Chains A and B, each alone.
Chain A
Amino acid sequence: KAGVTQTPRYLIKTRGQQVTLSCSPISGHRSVSWYQQTPGQGLQFLFEYFSETQRNKGNFPGRFSGRQFSNSRSEMNVSTLELGDSALYLCASSLSGTSGYQWTQYFGPGTRLLVL
């Protein structure tokens, strides 16, 4: 079974631009979560989508947004990029079933974003 895929893998942008990152979950997984990883702040939860609805949201400004499509693929968008947005953005998917093990999140390889 293929794992979580993310595109692009690397991205360089300049301040003020916007960026869209894409995530395809493991087949059959309906929940998609996004995390930001930086050396200073570590891993921080951005948001989670299930059935095209945002179900949970972290403490990030409104410049960070996302969406999920009917095939469970997800995109996140960052508008008006700042230098501090440079990070590894990780997408994770889970089955979202009824048993605790089905809540395990499986992570993709990430998109490394550099903002200049």
Chain B
Amino acid sequence: ELKVEQNPLFLSMQEGKNYTIYCNYSTTSDRLYWYRQDPGKSLESLFVLLSNGAVKQEGRLMASLDTKARLSTLHITAAVHDLSATYFCAGNSGGSNYKLTFGKGTLLTVNP
């Protein structure tokens, strides 16, 4: 059974700084997703990583996937307050494209 672990679970950053969120998973996952959730809101899809070495970037966020290490990272560059949210990574489990297993999420707070 797929297990997904994120760390850190809580991250307080200053604006302008860089940081990385790590997502480890226990067994083979065909793809890795990153989602963002604002308080009281639903999940917004950020990235889908399909293969080893995949790298995706959108604005100040960059996600990568290393399937051999079973590790995905979400790198934040020059953080701004608007990035404050909870970030989840998820993999597909049980050979299904649609059964996602989520990490516990990383609550990111960006302070001025």
Q: Contact residues of A with B, CB < 8 Å?
A: 31, 33, 35, 42-45, 48, 50, 55-56, 58, 90, 92, 94, 96, 100-101, 103-110
Contact = CB atoms under 8 A, between A and B. Distances in A.
Nearest to A31: B98
B75 interface: no
B50 A110 contact: no
Interface in B53-112: 88, 90, 92, 94, 96-105
A80 to B, nearest CB: 25
Q: Is the interface of A mostly helix, strand, loop or mixed?
A: strand
Contact of A58 (B33, B99, B103): B99
Sorted nearest first, the 5 A-B pairs with minimum C-beta distance are A43-B102, A107-B43, A100-B50, A48-B98, A103-B97
A55 B42 contact: no
Given A42-B102, A45-B100, A56-B99, A104 B50 contact: no
B31 A100 contact: yes
Contacts of A110: 42
A109 B42 contact: yes
Choose among A35, A55, A56 the residue with the greatest number of B CB atoms under 10 Å from its CB. Answer: A56
14 contacts: A43-B102, A43-B105, A45-B99, A45-B101, A58-B99, A90-B42, A100-B48, A103-B48, A105-B33, A107-B35, A107-B43, A107-B44, A107-B45, A109-B41
Contact of A55 (B33, B98, B100): B98
Given A90-B43, A103-B31, A33 B48 contact: no
A104 B48 contact: yes
A17 B103 CA distance: 31
Given A43-B100, A45-B99, A96-B97, 8 more contacts: A33-B99, A42-B102, A101-B48, A103-B48, A104-B48, A105-B100, A106-B45, A110-B42
